[in-house]
Amino acid sequence: MPNQHFLPAILQEPALYLGGAGRIPPYQVPRAYRPWLLDPGSLTQRLIRVSQGQFRVQVQRQGHHPATVQERAALQLAGRAWPFLREVLLLCHGEPWVFARTLIPCDSLRGPARALTRLGSKPLGAVLFNHPAVRRGPIAVCRVTGEGVSDRQAPSPGLWGRQSLFYLYAKPLLVSEYFLEGCPMYQQSTANAAGHQAEETL
């Protein structure tokens, strides 16, 4: 399991949030990571496919909680109302591959959308990517540095994250996804780099 101090610390990363100065342009994302970070399709379906169905959701926290300043700006939240927060680990083969954090403003939870507060262990992606009234906004990508947090809290260097707004019935929700050490995205990149080095020595 990830370091228990990792999840709060990762939320201090200002670069990830939409409009952040530290966002990484798509052309600067390593080629091996692009299928994971830039694909606008369902991450849930990718994880199910790569893990050959050995996938499950582990809920870490959910309920109404305060958002960060950056999250409030991204969602254009006014007043002091706390949005609905859902934090989960996406596990494959029993290992955490992705930490996902979703924030849904109260105004976005009217009518049928209230079902999003009762997902339990059902993946959010199974709803968003099968709903005709959902639209996805641009994807913001950053590399997690751990700057501004203590050594005890700092995540492993080099982890990557992404964030985007979804619109359900034209109402926003903010989804942030952090790719943890166990995710095969990193192993694939290492394998590709080793292959290139081997070719250069031939």
Q: Mean pLDDT in each 10-residue stretch from start to end of the chain (202 residues)?
A: 52 55 81 95 96 96 90 87 93 95 94 92 94 93 62 55 93 93 82 44 46
4: which 2 tokens?
A: 């228990």
Model-level pTM? 0.83
Looking at residue 22, which CATH number applies to its domain? 3.40.1410.10
For the chain, how many structural domains are there in total? 1
> Which range marks the domain in which residue 110 is found?
6-201
pLDDT in tens, 158-173: 788 899 999 999 999 9
Compute the distance between CA of residue 192 and CA of residue 194 in angstroms, rounded to an integer: 5
Q: Which helix (H) or strand (E) holds 48?
A: helix 43-50
User: Does residue 93 lie in a domain region?
Assistant: yes
pLDDT of residue 78: 85
173: helix, strand or coil? strand
Compute the distance between CA of residue 157 and CA of residue 38 in angstroms, rounded to an integer: 20
User: Does residue 163 lie in a domain region?
Assistant: yes
User: Does residue 180 lie in a domain region?
Assistant: yes
Per the prediction, the chain carries an average pLDDT of 82
User: Does residue 1 lie in a domain region?
Assistant: no
Count CA atoms closer than 13 A to 88's CA, side-chain side: 20
pLDDT of residue 79: 79
Ramachandran angles phi, psi of 111, nearest 5°: 65, -140
User: Does residue 124 lie in a domain region?
Assistant: yes
